């Protein structure tokens, strides 16, 4: 079955702009989580959506937001981009119940200039 | 609470063994292990559940000490393809708990 699909794969934005990233989870998965990865910082949890509701949120400013649609596809938005937002943004899908495997997408590489 | 991983980095020669450790300060329901190669997405290796059940699909073994909230990943007879950064992710007991990943262990296998 198809894996987790993220678009776009690469993008360059200017400081102050906003960006929207998209994620299509594995068919049947209802949970989508977003992580930010920067060099040397590991995988920082942004938020998780389950059945269109935000179930968990990490310690990121309000400029980072997301949503999930009825077909489980998810988008995350970053407004008023800062240079420090340059990172790999990873989407992960799972069934949403404890102990189930999380599958990552290829990620969206965001560069803010 | 982010789990702690050790060592931070390790260099092996082909054929050598390695152990990567992961510990948490909270009660765990499961521990997830992933490997990430440079420029790629993390790839699932194994998940260990409270009660001893393991789910994985590669020739890599792991253990989960529920009392100590610790897990270890065992890489035996390492191959060049084992190189990458290994992340452990820990999950608590709440059905709403998220998986929190450790800072990663960089593993390099050299000929």
pLDDT 10s digits, A30-67: 999 999 999 877 899 999 999 999 998 999 999 999 99
| Mean pLDDT of the region B10-29 | 93
In chain B, residues with a C-beta closer than 8 Å to the C-beta of A100 are: 47
Give the span between the Cα atoms of B54 and B32, in whole angstroms.
10
Residue (of A15, A75, A104) closest to B45 by Cα position: A104
Query: Are the C-beta atoms of B44 and A101 separated by less than 8 Å?
Result: yes
Q: How many CA atoms lie within 13 A of B47 on its CB side?
A: 16
pLDDT at residue B10 tops 70: yes
Judge whether residue A29 has pLDDT over 60.
Answer: yes
Q: For an interface test with A, give the residue of B34, B42, B85 to mutate (most A CBs within 10 A).
A: B42
pLDDT interval class at B54 (50, 70, 90): low
3-state per-residue secondary structure call for B36-101: ECCCCCCEEEEEEECCCCEEECCCCEEEEECCCCEEEEEECCCCHHHCEEEEEEEECCCCCCCCEE
State the smallest CA–CA distance between residue A60 and chain B in angstroms: 15
Q: Tokens in use for A111?
A: 């560069």
Does residue B57 register a pLDDT over 60? no
d(CA B4, CA B22): 6
Q: How large is the average pLDDT for residues B46-61? A: 72
Contact A102 B99 (CB under 8 A): yes
**What confidence tier does B96 reach under pLDDT thresholds 50, 70, 90?**
low
Helices (H), chain A: none
Chain B residues within 8 angstroms (CB to CB) of chain A: 2, 29-30, 32, 34, 40-44, 47, 49, 55, 87, 89, 91, 93-104
The percent of residues above 90 in pLDDT, for chain B, comes to 56
Mutating which of B48, B87, B98 best tests the A interface, going by the most A Cβ atoms within 10 A?
Answer: B98
């Amino acid at each position: 079955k198809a894996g987790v699909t993220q678009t776009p794969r690469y993008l360059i934005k200017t400081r102050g702009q906003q960006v929207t990233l998209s994620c299509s989870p594995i068919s049947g998965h209802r949970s989508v989580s977003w992580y930010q990865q920067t060099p040397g910082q590991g995988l920082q949890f942004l938020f998780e959506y389950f059945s269109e509701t935000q179930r968990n949120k990490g310690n990121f400013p309000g400029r980072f937001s997301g949503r999930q649609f009825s077909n489980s596809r998810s988008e995350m938005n970053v407004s008023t981009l800062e240079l420090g937002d340059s990172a790999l943004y990873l989407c992960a899908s799972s069934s949403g119940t404890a102990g189930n495997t999380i599958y990552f997408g290829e990620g969206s590489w965001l560069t803010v200039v | 609470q982010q789990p702690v991983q050790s060592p931070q980095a390790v260099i092996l020669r082909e054929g050598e063994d390695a152990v990567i450790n992961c510990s948490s300060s909270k009660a765990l329901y499961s521990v997830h292990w992933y490997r990430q190669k440079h420029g790629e997405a993390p790839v699932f290796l194994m998940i260990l559940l409270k009660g001893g059940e393991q789910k994985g699909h590669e020739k890599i073994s792991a253990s989960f000490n529920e009392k100590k909230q610790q897990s270890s990943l065992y890489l035996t007879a390492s191959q060049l393809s084992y190189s990458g950064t290994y992340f452990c992710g820990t999950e608590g007991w709440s059905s709403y708990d998220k998986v929190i990943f450790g800072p990663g262990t960089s593993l390099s296998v050299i000929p």
